[in-house]
Amino acid sequence: MTKRKTYDELRSARWFAPDDLRGFGHRSRAMQMGYDHADWHGKPIIAILNTWSDIGNCHSHFKNRVEEVKRGVLQAGGFPLEIPCISVAENFVKPTTMLYRNLLAIEAEEQLRCHPVDGAVLMGGCDKTTPGLLMGAFSAGLPCIYLPAGPMLRGNWKGNTLGSGSDAWKYWDERRAGNISSEQWMEIEGGIARSAGTCMVMGTAATMMGIAEALGMTLPGASSIPAVDANHQRMATQCGRRVVDMVWEDLTPKRMLTRENFENALTVAMAEGCSTNAIIHLVAISRRAGLPLSLDDFDAFSRKVPVIANIRPSGDKYLMEDFYYAGGMKALMKTLLDAGLLHREALTVNGHSVEENLKDAETYNEDVIRPIDKAIYKEGALAVLRGNLAPNGCVIKPSACAPKFFKHTGKVLVYDDYPSLKKAVEDPDLDVTENHIIILRNAGPQGGPGMPEWGMVPIPTKLVKQGVRDMLRISDARMSGTSYGACILHVSPESYIGGPLALVQNGDLITVNVPERTIHLEISDEEMVRRKAAWTPPPKRFERGYGHMFTQHILQADQGCDFDYLETSFGAPVPEPVIY
């Protein structure tokens, strides 16, 4: 490391140190809140970006956890300031939290830029909060450390373990089939989410917290600690202590992150059986860091990195609580490190390398965290398909779908919106077999709007009652990381802007070949051109407000769905704010 900063070199000193009228105003207004010079003078000021709110179920413990972060900051000689950010609560925000991920990124970046702070603790966990906070913090460029919310405890119903999301889909199909009563359904409602914390399957939240650790942005082992475990409280305090030293060391994301950090994140994503949403989020994060990843990177790593985390939905039994007891993220990364799949020298927020952080890591249950030669799936969790239906790519999760659909040709049933799709799948007379392919379109970044998690298209009730539990479904939507099945997602370019998915007609044949990474609409090039010429754009989703801005600037799924003007490559860095 270079020599430590002095107080005069701290960013916050621009506000508090000058002996002038403006400095007087800053100090006097701080004193208005009960602080005095001893609170800030000579100390780094640490922003704690807290995504707690009364409706943020995954982060309900953050109201208390922030106090533990403050304690750590104070112990290390810093001055903590809690700054709230939008909570983006996955279950409650409509039409989708993805509409607001970039808004959180904007808020995080601008909160750090406009306030007199020197470093930050980023408190997130629920799906979009991890990428949103990291994207904003990377653009702001201050020393920062990520504090993951941690997974909730296992669910339980009549002695049976429940996994959030995954078992909701499972038991909903059973209710639709008439196998579960309304009373039993209500019992499941009360048992599937029993504590603070994120979904306890390997959904998007757990995936992205693990990716944050693999990037080096968390303390070692932090991402897998259950939210209500006392170790989580101690970790929060440790984050507060560490970020103060990061400020003195000037350990910024730009100084820390390299291509190797992002390749480690790719490796861990595949090994943990990641959510399909990992692609969109990690692409966006990498482009903010100026180290862009592509869909080809994901597919290349998928072919060489096996799934070794036996966690649902890719696994068949265990949940995140089991993962923690088996050794957690440190054990998984140590397995990958010993196999030569991680970059050993990649730096992390504690100032040490990946190899140094993992030297004492152990696996305590090899059925949960498998050895490489006993992987639950020999390739990574995701596959990127391309063809005339998806020239810029689409995504499937082979580790969580029936292998019989890896090579499949079927007739399509096409639906232009979710209401018509929902009505059709509930029709007992729908002309459909499990060999059909159901298409949902106009559900992408602009069409959704915001690319909602509608991609796990329901199996038609007629088939559910016949015992069918999987079939091929294609959309330009996303799906929850807790979901499973033969769902092809993120078709790019999306149908709403005239992508080839918009040109598919009922009865067309589509051929999917996962091993060869292809997807093909079985029509001629000439017919494709004819259909495109006849296509008319749909009406605008928004004519004012944030939604209007969103549709003007949102990028496609293969580019990470960031706003074009927020990417690092868009223009010169934003300067420090002037103080007059």
User: What is the distance of C-alpha 104 from the center of its chain?
Assistant: 13
Length of the chain: 580
Q: Rounded to an integer, what distance in angstroms lies between the CA atom of residue 5 and that of residue 245? A: 10
Give start-end residues of each CATH 3.50.30.80 domain in the chain. Answer: 383-534
Q: Where in the chain is the domain with CATH 3.40.50.2300?
A: 43-153+195-374
What whole-number distance in Å separates Cα of residue 415 and Cα of residue 370?
A: 41
Give the C-alpha separation, 439 to 445, whole Å. 17
3-state secondary structure (DSSP) of residue 576 = coil
Q: How far apart are CA 69 and CA 147, in angstroms?
A: 9
Q: Strands 45-50, 119-124: parallel, antiparallel or unpaired by DSSP?
A: parallel
d(CA 73, CA 89): 27
Could you report the per-residue pLDDT of 266-288, keeping only the tens digit for each?
999 999 999 999 999 999 999 99
From the CB of residue 557, how many other CB atoms can be counted at a distance below 10 Å?
28
Per-residue tokens: 189: 């409602």
Would you state the pLDDT for residue 394?
98
Give the CATH class of 43-153+195-374: alpha beta
Q: How far apart are CA 311 and CA 210, in angstroms?
A: 13
Tokens of 345: 């020298």
3-class state of residue 521 by DSSP = strand
Residue 244's nearest CA partner among 122, 75, 83 is 75
Q: What is the model's pLDDT at position 399?
A: 86
CATH of 383-534, picked from 3.50.30.80, 2.30.40.10, 3.30.70.370, 1.10.10.10, is 3.50.30.80
Report which DSSP code applies to 509: E
Pairing of strands 518-521, 45-50: unpaired
Q: How far is residue 462's CA from residue 371's CA, in Å, rounded to a whole number?
A: 41
CA dist 490 → 280, 295, 307, 395 (Å): 9, 11, 22, 6
SS3 of residue 477 by DSSP: coil
CA distances from 250 to 71, 239, 351 (A): 22, 16, 11
Burial status of residue 159 (CB atoms within 10 A of its CB: 0-12, 13-18, 19 or more): exposed
Which strands, in side-by-side order, build the sheet including 144-148? 79-84, 45-50, 119-124, 144-148
Q: Are 474 and 501 in contact (CB under 8 A)?
A: yes
Distance, in Å, from the CA atom of 491 to the CA atom of 474, rounded to the nearest integer, reads 8
Listed as own residue / partner, the contacts of 559-565 with beta carbons closer than 8 Å and 24 or more positions apart are 559/283, 559/287, 560/280, 560/281, 560/282, 560/283, 560/284, 560/285, 560/286, 560/287, 561/98, 561/101, 561/102, 561/280, 561/284, 561/445, 561/451, 562/102, 562/105, 562/135, 562/284, 562/287, 562/288, 563/102
The CA–CA distances, whole Å, from 541 to 414, 557, 561 equal: 21, 18, 17
CB 379 within 8 A of CB 306: yes
Low-confidence ranges of the chain (pLDDT < 70): 1-2
Tokens of 300: 């290349």
User: Which pLDDT value is given to residue 381?
Assistant: 86
Question: What is the end-to-end Cα distance of the chain in Å, rounded?
Answer: 34
Average pLDDT, the chain: 96
**pLDDT on residue 2:** 63
